[in-house]
Amino acid sequence: MADPLASLPARPGPAVPVREPVFHVRGLARRYGEGEAAVTALAGVDLDLYAGELIVLLGASGSGKSTLLNQLGGLDSPSEGVLEYRGANLAAFGEAELTVFRRDAVGFVFQAYNLIPSLTARENVALITEICRAPMVPEEALALVGLADRMNHFPAQLSGGEQQRVAIARAIAKRPEVLLCDEPTGALDVRTGITVLEAVERINRELGTLAVIITHNAVMADMADRIFTLSDGRIVNVRANTRRAAARELKW
C-alpha cells in the first residue's frame, strides 16, 4: 500500500528528519494457534509512522487493531513480515531486547488504566521513572496531565479520568518516542474522555512524540494527522486530515 504521507509536505517541528519513519511495516501478519484452529489477527499490514504524528487506528472489535498495537509496542512478535523500529528489525528482537525497547522507547496507555492499586499516583509514575534512562521527575509528568494536586492519592481515591491521566503521566514520564494508547477513553464519559485526549494531544504537540490511539469511536479521527481503518486484519482505508481538530472540539 502506498504511503499517503509521502505526497504531503513535511510538518515542521520534530527533531528527527521526517523522511525516516519511526516504524516501517511491510506485510505484517500475526496468526494464533495451529492448523484448523488457527486464527489470523493480522493479514499483511503495510504502514510507515513518523515522529510527531498523531495516528488513530479505527476498527470494529476483532479487526486486529489491538494486535497491531501490541506488535508496535513489542508486546508480541509477528508471524511474518517486516517490522522495523528506526531501521532495527523488531521481529528479530529477543525477550531482553524487547524489554529494553519497551522500557526506553514506548509508553503504553491501557483501557483499564492498569495502575498499581497499592501505590499512589506519584509512586505509580515513579515506579517507571526509576527504571528508564532520562525520565522526567514524576511531578513534572503529572503536572503535564493536570494532576499536580492529586499526586498523593491512591488509585481508588481517583476518578476514572484521573486514573487514566495518571496512566498517561506514567507512559510519558520516560519521554518515550512512541505513545501507544489502547482505547484510552473506552471506560470514560465524554467530558472525562476529552480531558484524557487533551493530555495525549499536548504530549504529542509539546514533546513531538509519535502517538497512536486505538478507538472504535470515529469522532476521534478528527484530531489525528492520519487515520487507518482496519477490518479483518487488514488496513482497508487510510486518510489524512488537512487540519487536526483540537480534542476539546470533539463531540460524541
Residues in contact with other proteins by the rule CB under 8 A: 66-67, 70, 73, 75-76, 95-96, 99-104, 106, 108, 110, 112, 114, 116, 118-119, 123-124, 126-128, 130-132, 170-171, 174, 187
- 56 to each of 78, 133, 210, how far by Cα in Å? 21, 28, 11
Pick 5 or 106: Cβ nearer other proteins: 106
In angstroms, the CA 178 to CA 103 distance is 11
Shortest gap between Cβ of 110 and other proteins (angstroms)? 6
Shortest gap between Cβ of 77 and other proteins (angstroms)? 9
C-beta of residue 54 within 8 angstroms of C-beta of residue 206: no
Shortest gap between Cβ of 168 and other proteins (angstroms)? 13
User: How is the beta sheet containing 226-231 ordered, strand by strand?
Assistant: 106-109, 178-182, 210-215, 54-59, 226-231, 234-240
Which residue in the block uniquely carries the three cell numbers 504511503?
A: 3
Residue 244 C-alpha from the chain's centroid: 17
In angstroms, the CA 175 to CA 4 distance is 28
Q: Rounded to the nearest 5 degrees, what angle is found at the Cα of 53, between the Cα atoms of 47 and 57?
A: 55
Pick 5 or 78: Cβ nearer other proteins: 78
Shortest gap between Cβ of 48 and other proteins (angstroms)? 23
In angstroms, the CA 235 to CA 34 distance is 24
In angstroms, the CA 205 to CA 14 distance is 9
Shortest gap between Cβ of 152 and other proteins (angstroms)? 13
Shortest gap between Cβ of 237 and other proteins (angstroms)? 25
C-beta of residue 83 within 8 angstroms of C-beta of residue 71: yes
Query: β-pairing, 39-49 with 80-85?
Result: unpaired
Shortest gap between Cβ of 122 and other proteins (angstroms)? 9
Pick 170 or 226: Cβ nearer other proteins: 170
Pick 171 or 200: Cβ nearer other proteins: 171
